[in-house]
Chains A and B, each alone.
Chain A
Amino acid sequence: MKIINANAHDLFVDRFEAGPGEAWCLVGTNRSGIDTFFKLLSGELPDVTAEYLELPENTGVVSFKRQQALFEEELRKDDTDYLDRIDPGTRAASFLNNPDDHGDLIKAFAMADSMDKGYRQLSTGQSRKLMLLAQITRGIESLVVQAPYEGLDRASCDELDKALAVCHQWGIQLFITVHNQGDIPNWCTHVGGIAQGRIAHAGPRTENLDQIEAILRTDAPDFKASVKELVQTGNPSGRVGTSREPGAELVRLQKGSAGYGGKPVFSGLDLSIRTHDHTLVTGPNGCGKSTLLQMIIGDHPACYQNDLRIFGIQRGTGESIWELKQHMGIVSPELHRSYHVPGTTLHCIISGLFDSIGLYQPYTPEDEKKAMEWLERTGLAHEAHTPFRRLSYADQRLVLIARALIKIPKLLILDEATQGLDEPNRQAVLDFLEQVAGEGLSTILYVSHRGDEFRSFFTSHIRM
């Protein structure tokens, strides 16, 4: 493939060339133009002008957008209302082309045991691998993958890495995009950097890696918030005035257990979080981190079967989930996936004041002002009236983070909140959280796979 002097949106490519069988890792920050380059390679950019344009042929594409589209398509096909059972979604194997002929490949992807599961029963890592398999079994010659490692723990990253290395060995031309230094894989033969809408460096890995890593270190973050400025612009807390007396109990779980369909994912778990106990939760995919958080949030039925107190209220004693949620700010992969309702970016942030997905209540001019300030802090003020769903995945993430922060809740529950963000933005969000913790504005409960997010402000660490 070869591109000369191509122009589209926020990107100009003077020259880019890749030979068959090469494995490329493309690196850039979220707004560097890398998403446009990804679309260009995927053949999904209709309005590109170029002096010479020869794109990868017979391409398979895996992107955030397609994953979300598949998720929503599966929801649309949900037959729970008509079946006499809960519909687990389309069987995994039926996403593949002739799965019976691809036994070895499926094994190499460590997916043999998941072929009979329904789509909604797969973990994040498994559904991503399934999407790759769906493409590869079509007999593609090149594969274009957006941020493949997001949301995966170390072990799943390694597994995925192996799978991608297999693709490379089979001679498939590979292009992946990444936004973090730690994500540049060993198997790639070539690297390319994108900065300020240009291809900065591109070529064999060994010669270019250092300059490319530097891009991620030196680019400025889009997320710019400081507690000091927050206090200056007025009352930092949102709608609900809440006292944050130190030591007050926020969460208490005794001998907690939870599972799905009779299979436990954890048991015997004791947890106590008091105001200012900033808690980090780590553990491999599938260990129950998200289940635990969902239980605390009230989105998992186990909250009613456990000895669980939230804000001092024993669950299942007449409280409504909305009473509890008004003191929580939440970012999670589930929330992001579920946020597929119409509405502008501004409305999405305001919805954080009401704990709703979509906006169903009248809001005040002060609410709007506060939301605009948060939009400024995410560098998205000019997108206030853009439909939220039309933003890039990373920008959607920043907006959801702002949505959780807008009311400066008693308890901030962040489950892989920085998923999809580039290195500078991740660090900027964590810097801000550090200040929030330092000032005691919120108590933070945080799940992450990334070692560089295990900051010192966490006062306790739960390994699951």
Chain B
Amino acid sequence: MGENYFNGLPLRLQLEELSQCRFMDASEFNGVEALKGKKIVIVGCGAQGLHQGLNLRDSGLDVSYTLREAAISEKRQSWKNATENGFSVGTYETMLPGADLVINLTPDKQHTNVIEAVMPLMKKDACLSYSHGFNIVEEGMQIREDLTVIMVAPKSPGTEVREEYKRGFGVPTLIAVHRENDPRGEGFELAKAYAAGTGGHRAGVLDSSFVAEVKSDLMGEQTILCGVLQMGSILCYDKMIEQGVEAGYASKLIQYGWETITEALKHGGITNMMDRLSNPAKIKAFDLSEQLKEILAPLFNKHMDDIISGHFSKTMMEDWANDDVNLLKWRAETAETAFEKSTCTDAEIPEQEFFDKGILMIAMVKAGVELAYDTMVASGIIEESAYYESLHEVPLIANLIARKRLYEMNVVISDTAEYGCYLFAHQAVPMLEEFMKTIDTEAIGKGLETTDNSVDNVRLIQVNEAIRSTSVEEVGRILRSYMSAMKPIM
């Protein structure tokens, strides 16, 4: 394993890399021209590999796959995915030497392995691509000098990458060129063509860097995406039980609540999510989220600092090398939480009720999104990047919890996300102990008792103003307008 790449950079370049992020204009793309007639070989045919490959082929590019020997001889699912879709598949030895662009879409944890096997077989002056930069940035993988190294990272799961393409659209995508590996200066053109081949250019592309992608991705996934929802599920459930809310109801309110409230977030940001509450409830959620932000800010800072310094990835990789002892222990503990073991009631909970009775959950989402976003921005990450890695992805994890609860959610997300999620939740739960003592069923489980909807006008105006005028809301409004099905055509 190499040295952490980021830590080896001089401060000047660290800052430059971290802050590299520019929302590209549609006119900068010239279709797939730069990849026309080139031979593209994808390593791995899982969720990203298969669906990116289908898109690239439909865009007129020459795509085939290479898999490790065992996957081919045992006709594993990855082999079936590729062959049933009419792609040719071969071993590294047969496929790689002819490839102009090799796209590595294997699990991040395997990258060092995979690249060590793949690189010697790649032809001179070819290009190597990633969809996540962990291997380059955190593991410091050294790539042969003649090779161009790029990244094209769709900010959505594989099936969505495909579905949006079929609709004639795409998903927001981040592209980058590794500054150490761009010997002919062609990396950017190749990355743009690849992004266009997946349809990403229609939904918004960020011209960013490996470093910015990795640091922001890690920060988002371990704090607001997985960490906050894990922490919130455990705390809110235990609180309701303590207060005598019926267990089946509490279970359902949590399991499906995140999904319902973040659906509102997805369409209209924090403002819209808060607007779903009555005025008194909105003010309550606002106040709670202010308290949460004050208590949790140091923890968000610590995660950001550990990610930037490499401490996080170093300790996590030590656990990888130690047969995942910590990860598996923490995973087992998740299975034992009261929420995980609870069963949902069969009774319907109407959509609006998830908001009315989940004020604390809304406050947690608001606080988590704002803290994650602000902490990233304060560390030099550009706003657009911070948005995609925080607010944009929350509904995805919320949907996973609705379908799978915490244990399974953790199993299916990446190992880096899972490891970081536990680190965060383990710290956050005790930090909120005092705060939780002040909470009763008005905030979670039953909603506000008062039927009186009156509020002080001046206070309401202040709160509305504070909700709306944050940076994440301003950036979000613009980025969402590029992403929604009803793009700014009016």
Contact = CB atoms under 8 A, between A and B. Distances in A.
Interface of A: 76-78, 80-82, 84-86, 260-262, 298-299, 301-302, 304-305, 316, 318-323, 338, 341-343, 347, 351, 354-363
A319 B399 CA distance: 37
B36 interface: yes
28 contacts: A76-B403, A78-B159, A80-B158, A81-B158, A81-B412, A82-B47, A84-B78, A85-B77, A260-B84, A301-B54, A301-B85, A318-B36, A321-B58, A322-B168, A338-B166, A341-B485, A342-B485, A343-B486, A351-B168, A356-B169, A357-B166, A357-B167, A357-B168, A358-B167, A358-B169, A360-B487, A361-B489, A363-B489
Nearest to A363: B489
Interface of B: 32, 36-37, 46-47, 54, 57-62, 76-78, 80-81, 84-86, 157-159, 166-169, 202, 399, 403, 412, 484-487, 489
A86 B159 CA distance: 10
B60 A81 contact: no
A304 B32 CA distance: 19
A362 B59 contact: no
Contacts of B169: 356, 358, 360
B168 A304 contact: no
A84 B167 contact: no
Contacts of A319: 60
Contacts of B47: 80-82
A359 B489 contact: yes
Contact of A298 (B46, B58, B84): B58
A371 B78 CA distance: 44
Contact of A358 (B77, B399, B412, B485): B485
Contacts of A80: 47, 158-159
B86 to A, nearest CB: 4
Nearest to B76: A84
B130 to A, nearest CB: 18
B158 A360 contact: no
Contacts of A342: 484-486
Contacts of B202: 360
Which 6 pairs from chain A and chain B are nearest by CB? A356-B168, A82-B412, A358-B485, A357-B167, A301-B86, A81-B157
A367 to B, nearest CB: 10
A340 B47 CA distance: 23
Contacts of A321: 58-59
Given A84-B76, A298-B58, A359-B485, 20 more contacts: A81-B158, A82-B47, A261-B84, A301-B54, A304-B86, A318-B60, A320-B58, A321-B58, A322-B168, A323-B60, A342-B484, A343-B486, A354-B168, A355-B168, A356-B169, A357-B166, A357-B167, A359-B487, A360-B202, A363-B489
Contacts of B36: 318
Contacts of B77: 84-86
Contacts of B485: 341-343, 358-360
Contacts, number: 89
A337 to B, nearest CB: 12
Contacts of B157: 81
Contacts of B58: 298, 320-321
Contacts of B159: 78, 80-81
B32 A358 contact: no
B229 to A, nearest CB: 17
Contacts of B61: 318
A299 to B, nearest CB: 8
A363 B488 CA distance: 11
A233 to B, nearest CB: 24
B81 A86 contact: yes
Nearest to B487: A360
Nearest to A87: B159
A347 B485 CA distance: 11
Contacts of A82: 47, 412
A301 B202 CA distance: 23
Q: Is the interface of A mostly helix, strand, loop or mixed?
A: loop
A262 B412 CA distance: 29
Contacts of B489: 359-363
Contacts of A361: 487, 489
B341 to A, nearest CB: 22
B84 A262 contact: yes
Given A80-B47, A81-B158, A302-B86, A359 B60 contact: no
A358 B168 contact: yes
Contacts of B59: 320-321
A160 B393 CA distance: 44
Nearest to B488: A362
Nearest to B31: A320
A356 B60 contact: no
A320 B32 contact: yes
A356 B86 contact: no
A324 B282 CA distance: 51
B345 to A, nearest CB: 20
Nearest to A321: B58
A318 B37 contact: yes
Given A85-B77, A360-B202, A320 B60 contact: yes
A407 B126 CA distance: 43
Contacts of B46: 84
B156 to A, nearest CB: 9
Contacts of A351: 168
A347 B169 CA distance: 15
A351 B486 CA distance: 11
Contacts of A262: 84
A395 to B, nearest CB: 20
Nearest to B46: A84
Contacts of B399: 76
Nearest to A354: B168
A125 B463 CA distance: 55
A322 B202 CA distance: 13
A260 B85 CA distance: 9
Nearest to A78: B159
Contacts of B76: 84
Nearest to A339: B167
Contacts of B412: 81-82
Nearest to A304: B86
Given A80-B159, A262-B84, A341 B487 contact: no
A82 B411 CA distance: 9
B374 to A, nearest CB: 30
Contacts of B32: 320
A284 B445 CA distance: 55
B479 to A, nearest CB: 15
A302 B62 CA distance: 15
Interface centre among B54, B57, B167, B412 (most CB of A within 10 A): B167
Contacts of A316: 57
Interface centre among A320, A342, A363 (most CB of B within 10 A): A320
Nearest to A320: B60
A359 B54 CA distance: 22
B168 A360 contact: yes
Contact of B403 (A77, A304, A320): A77
A351 B157 CA distance: 25
A341 B36 CA distance: 32
Contacts of B37: 318
B72 to A, nearest CB: 15
A361 B84 CA distance: 33
Nearest to A303: B86
B63 to A, nearest CB: 10
Interface centre among A76, A299, A321 (most CB of B within 10 A): A321
B412 to A, nearest CB: 4
Nearest to B81: A86
Nearest to B60: A320
A80 to B, nearest CB: 5
Nearest to A362: B489
Nearest to A259: B84
Contacts of A338: 166-167
A80 B54 CA distance: 15
Contacts of A84: 46, 76-78
Nearest to A80: B159
B61 to A, nearest CB: 8
